[in-house]
Structure 1
Amino acid sequence: MDRSATHRFDHLLDGLGLRGDTRRDIALGLLVAAVSVAVLWVSLPALEALEGLVLARGTIVSAGLVLLTQALPLGLRRRNPVLSLVGVAALQVLLAALTPAGFNFHGPALFIAAYTCGTVLSLSRLSVVLVACALVYGTAEGLLTGALAPAAGVSLVLPGEPPPWVTAPILTVPALLIPGLIGIYVGTHRRYAELVRLRDAEEIQAHKERAQTAIRAERTRMARELHDIAAHHLSGMVVQAGAAERLIGRDDEAARHAMDWVRTQGKETLTGLRAVVGALRDPDEEEARPGHETEVRDAPVPGLAAVERLVSTERELGTDLRLVREGSPYELPPIADVTAYRTVQEALTNTRDHAAGAKVSVRLWYRPARFALEVENERGGTPDTDRRHRGLGVLGMRERADVVGARLDVGPTDGGGWRVRWEIPVEREETR
Structure 2
Amino acid sequence: MTDRASRERSPADALPTPGARAARQTAVMDPLLDRIGLRTPVARDAALAAVLAIAAAGLLWASLTVMGIIDGVRLPTGSAVALTLVVCLQPLPLCLRRRHPTGVLLAVAAAQLAVYAFFPATVAFQGLATFVAGYTCGLLLSTRALVRLLVVVSVATALMSGVVAGALFDPEPLPGSDAARVLVEADPAVHLVILTGLLSSLGAYAVPALLGVHVATRRDYIELVRLRADEAVRVQRERADNAVRAERTSMARELHDIAAHHLSGMVVQAGAAERLIGRDDQAAREATSWVRNQGKETLESLRMVVRALREPGPDGPGADGTFDGAPVPGVAALDRLVAAERRLGAAVELTHEGEPRALPPVADITVYRVAQEALTNARDHAPGAPVRIVLRHGSSRVLLEVVNDPPEAPREAAGRGAPRGHGLLGMRERAQLVDGRLEAGPAGPGGWRVRLEIPLAVETGRRTQGER
The one of 302, 307, 313 aligned to 1:275: 307
Could you tell me which residue of structure 2 aligns to residue 37 of structure 1? 57
1:236 is aligned, of 262, 265, 268, to 265
Q: Structure 1 residue 310 and structure 2 residue 351: aligned?
A: no
1:262 aligns with 2:312: no
Q: Structure 2: how far apart are the matches of 1:226 and 1:191?
A: 51
The answer for the alignment partner of 1:2 in structure 2 is: 19
Q: Find the aligned partners of 1:103 and 1:57 in 2 and give their Cα distance.
A: 19
Q: 1:48 to 1:244 in 2, by over 3 A?
A: farther
CA deviation profile, 1:92-112 (whole Å, cap 9, x unmatched): 111222344434221221122
The alignment status of 1:162 with 2:181, answered yes or no, reads: no
Residue of 194, 215, 222 corresponding to 1:193: 222
User: Which secondary structure does the structure 2 equivalent of 1:106 belong to?
Assistant: coil
Pair 166,250 (structure 1): closer, same or farther in 2 beyond 3 Å = closer
Q: Greater CA deviation, 236-245 or 174-183?
A: 236-245
Q: How does 1:46-85 map to 2 (within 5 A)?
A: 46-85=66-105
- 1:3-402 equivalences under 5 Å are 3=20, 5-17=22-34, 18-151=38-171, 156=183, 159=186, 161-163=188-190, 165-175=193-203, 176-242=205-271, 246=276, 249-250=281-282, 254=286, 257-258=289-290, 260-272=292-304, 274-275=306-307, 302-303=329-330, 305=332, 308-310=358-360
Q: Is the 8 A contact 1:241 1:258 kept in 2?
A: no
User: For 1:395-410, what aligned pairs fall within 5 Å after superposition?
Assistant: none
Give the Cα–Cα distance (whole angstroms) in 2 for the partners of residues 275 and 160 of structure 1: 97
**Contact (CA 8 Å) 2:42, 2:96: kept in 1 or not?**
yes
Call closer, same or farther: CA 1:77–1:252 in 2, change over 3 Å: same
Give, in angstroms, the shift of residue 14 of structure 1.
4.3
The 1-side partners of 2:89 and 2:201 are apart by: 23
CA drift of 1:271 comes to 1.0
- The C-alpha deviation readout for 1:135-184, integer Å capped at 9, x for no partner, is 22223233222323442796747747434643333323422322222323
What do the CA deviations read for 1:272-295 (whole angstroms, capped 9, x no partner)? 46436689xxxxxxxxxxxx9xxx
Cα 1:264/1:32, change in 2 over 3 Å: same
Give the match for residue 387 of structure 2: none
Secondary structure of the residue aligned to 1:250 is: helix
Structure 2, unaligned runs of 5 or more = 1-17, 174-179, 312-320, 322-326, 334-356, 365-394, 397-432, 434-458
3-state SS in 2 of match to 1:2: helix
Shift of 1:5: 3.8
Q: Deviations over 1:375-413 (max 9, x none)?
A: xxxxxxxx9xxxxx9xx988x87xxxxxxxxxxxxxxxx
Change (3 A) 1:104 1:172: closer
The alpha-carbon deviation at position 76 of structure 1 amounts to: 1.9
Q: Highest CA radius of gyration, 1 or 2?
A: 2
Q: Residues 123 and 217 (structure 1 numbering): CA distance in 2 closer, same or farther, change over 3 Å? A: same
Distance change >3 Å, CA 42–CA 160, structure 1 → 2: closer
SS in 1 for 2:157: helix
1-side partners of 2:81 and 2:187: how far apart? 32
When residues 12 and 179 of structure 1 are mapped into structure 2, their CA distance, relative to the original with a 3 A threshold, is closer
Given the two structures, how large is their TM-score scaled by the length of structure 2? 0.54
Percent identity between matched residues is 37
- 1:244–1:255 contact (8 Å) kept in structure 2: yes
3-state DSSP of counterpart to 2:358: helix
Aligned residues, how many? 308
Shift of 1:65: 2.0
Rounded to whole Å, the distance in 1 between the matches of 2:225 and 2:184 is: 52
In the alignment, the residues of structure 2 paired with residue 27 and residue 393 of structure 1 have an alpha-carbon distance, to the nearest angstrom, of 64
Q: Is the 8 A contact 1:233 1:269 kept in 2?
A: no
Please, which moves more after superposition, 104-113 or 119-128? 119-128
Change (3 A) 1:86 1:236: same
Residues 1:62 and 1:47: Cα distance change in structure 2 (over 3 Å) = same
TM-score by length of 1: 0.58
Task: Note the alpha carbon deviations across 1:11-50, whole angstroms, 9 max, x for none.
Answer: 5224423344333322322222222123233444433333
Deviation at 1:239?
4.3
Q: Which range moved further: 104-113 or 181-190?
A: 181-190
Conserved 8 A contact 1:142-1:165? yes
Matches of 1:45 and 1:86, distance apart in 2: 29
Q: Is the 8 A contact 1:70 1:88 kept in 2?
A: yes
Call closer, same or farther: CA 1:263–1:122 in 2, change over 3 Å.
closer
Contact 1:29/1:74 (8 A) holds in 2: yes
Distance apart, 1:86 and its partner CA? 0.7
Amino acid at match of 2:51: L
User: SS in structure 2 opposite 1:78?
Assistant: coil
